[in-house]
Amino acid sequence: MSILRLPGLSRREFLPAMGFAFAAGLTACSAPVDDAGTPRRIARQVDQLMTTLSQTELARNPELATRLGLTEAAVGYPFNRYLTDRSQATYERTRVTRLEMLEALEQAPKPAPGSPQARHLDTLIAAYRTAETLFVPGHGQAGLGIAYPYVADQMRGAYIDVPDLMTRAHPVRTAEDARAYVARLSQFADAIDDERRRLDADAAAGVIAPDFILRQMAALAAQHGAGPPDTHILITTLDSLLTGPDDLEPGEGEKLAAQARGLVETEILPAYARFGARLTDLAKGAPSQPGVWQLPNGDAYYDASLAAYTHAGVNAEALHSLGQREVLALADQLDAALTEAGFVEGTVTERLVALSALPDQVYPPTEEGRAALLARLEDLQARADAALAREIPRVPRTQVAIRAVPDFLQASSPAAFYSAAPANGTAPGLFQINLTDTADWPDFTLATLVFHETIPGHHLESAVTAEQANLPLARQMIWNVAYGEGWGVYAETLADDMGLYADDPLGRIGYLQSLLFRAARLVADTGIHRMRWSRQQAIDYLTGVTGQPEVAMAAEVDRYTVWPGQAAAYWVGRQRILDLRERAIRVLGPKFDRAAFHEIILTGGPRPLDILEADVEQWYGAQVDRTD
């Protein structure tokens, strides 16, 4: 079992806060205070604690540091040379370390209530408490703000994530970057083997993914582990990147390329083969249906997952019923919108299917068709960008690019996703769409997709956070799903408020279908994990309600299978933002400023919904106080 050791870094250097004596900060203090009213000594102690936490997390997760686009100076070691240690030993040490971190956070002196630093501290405490609730079962993966019941699945794991890291995020601007690329390749086989061992250990404890998930994983392992080495994506990527650095020693590029080919041939491809063979064996004894209720203490795990992705006290049965009610209400709205657009024959679902199949809605599965689809997305994004100034006081500078998912990642990638711009400013934000089958993307669905992923959705949220929120590094590492995806779905409604569907009645039907899909997710996720639905039952439900293709809905069900609770965050987060907006309108009346409301939501950065609610209440309460 390999354990990543970082030269020059010790536990003592990365965990000084765990031995801090905070008593001095808790005594009465007459020292000068900062602008928020916090004594400066307390502010310094909290800042130091947050710095220590970020260094500790990034020491354990060098891949995260790369994806964030951080510098070695900010992180404290040459992280681009290392892969994240995926061994069982590190998983167990992580829990102990995070318990120490949580204790330090809870014992820290308190900044002034309502101050940005208080918000930072509260957000970190919530993230570490949530991580602990999902660490307790002792299986899968548990991080800050995200958790999975299984060590790896069809969407994630070293066998997928490392090629994605190396081809999309690892920099090769200098000779040292190129050397670091090869150094990471030398650790890749161990990373795959470590996850294979952890999968075995979890399976022995009764935690095993369904057979249909394991078979998908085996197929992906075979795809990523296919030879010959010379044409493997890890090698072709390095060959391309080696043309960039101009400080390589004579002949060094050829030596690095040869070393990389040797690693792929003798270590990485055999590790893929071992991983795929073990997945095939595990599938023979795995359950045939989804649902974490099958795991030891599975109901408790699902309750903890739902709470982590939404809010404390959430009830699976209540969410299931809520989703069913919202589905009925949205079907009525779609019925009216379809009728107004001239689609009157058949049920709502039948009319949505018919609309999706119209010739003018389908982009041909050719290079020209894919290019036209991408151009359409760019046009829609430009329209939203032009209207943005009315919705936020300061429009961010960071740009967003729209790209197709690379061919080699299509099988393991979601349908569409957004990646934030790196902190070093070397690239824009990136919206990627999976164009395996262009028929998955009828034209009337594209507007809402763009508004969710770019402007005014994820890209706006991410860019405002980066440019205006002034978050400490510890906060930048945590993304709250209910906040982030809640904003993304709220952005779909905001686009309607902005008039972006005013001259596009079919686009508005796409918007309503998207909302219908979000509501149906509540029903399907809780159906799978609490009501014990079969895989086919869940597929049939989503297909019958949303009118989307069975293949796409099967992929959705498989996603919910390995990521319980996450799908509920979209609807719950959106509804909380809408509720807060309505409350602010009632309190402020004609003085309500939607752009100012959005600024309060976005400049606080990703945080739990209860902290978001407190921030909004403080904002409109202060305005009321000023007018009294």
- Tens of pLDDT, residues 6-57: 333 332 233 333 333 333 333 444 457 777 788 999 999 999 999 999 999 9
- Helix, strand or coil for residue 39? strand
Q: Which pLDDT value is given to residue 37?
A: 85
Q: Which pLDDT value is given to residue 12?
A: 27
Report strand pairing: 147-148 vs 416-419. Answer: unpaired
- Helix, strand or coil for residue 418? strand
CA 466 – CA 422 distance, rounded (Å):
9
Question: Which parts of the chain register pLDDT below 50?
Answer: 1-30
Instruction: Name beta bridge partners: 430.
Output: 401, 419
**Which amino acid, residue 521?**
R
Cα–Cα distances in angstroms (integers) from residue 16 to residues 5, 71, 351, 522, 608, in the given order: 19, 22, 62, 43, 27
CA 590 – CA 597 distance, rounded (Å):
13
Cβ pair 372, 438 in contact under 8 A:
no
- Helix, strand or coil for residue 231? helix
**Which pair of structure tokens corresponds to residue 290?**
């989804």
**Which pair of structure tokens corresponds to residue 538?**
């869940």
Domain ranges of the chain: 11-148, 158-288, 303-571, 576-627
CA 429 – CA 104 distance, rounded (Å):
34
- Closest to 210 (Cα-Cα) out of 284, 300, 297: 284
Phi, psi (rounded to 5 degrees) for 434:
-85, 110
Q: Which pLDDT value is given to residue 8?
A: 32
Give the CA angle between residues 227, 231, 234 to the nearest 5°: 90
Is 310 buried (19+), middle (13-18) or exposed (0-12) by CB count in 10 A?
buried
Residue 417 exposure: Cα atoms within 13 Å on the Cβ side: 12
Cβ pair 325, 523 in contact under 8 A:
no
Is 567 buried (19+), middle (13-18) or exposed (0-12) by CB count in 10 A?
buried
Give the DSSP H or E segment for 539. Answer: helix 535-546
Q: What is the DSSP string of 82-95?
A: -PPP--HHHHHHHH
Give the DSSP H or E segment for 350. Answer: helix 348-357
CA 436 – CA 414 distance, rounded (Å):
11
CA 109 – CA 42 distance, rounded (Å):
6
**Which amino acid, residue 360?**
D
Q: Which pLDDT value is given to residue 159?
A: 98
Q: Which pLDDT value is given to residue 515?
A: 98
- Closest to 8 (Cα-Cα) out of 72, 101, 88: 72
- Closest to 231 (Cα-Cα) out of 272, 267, 265: 265
Q: Which pLDDT value is given to residue 227?
A: 85
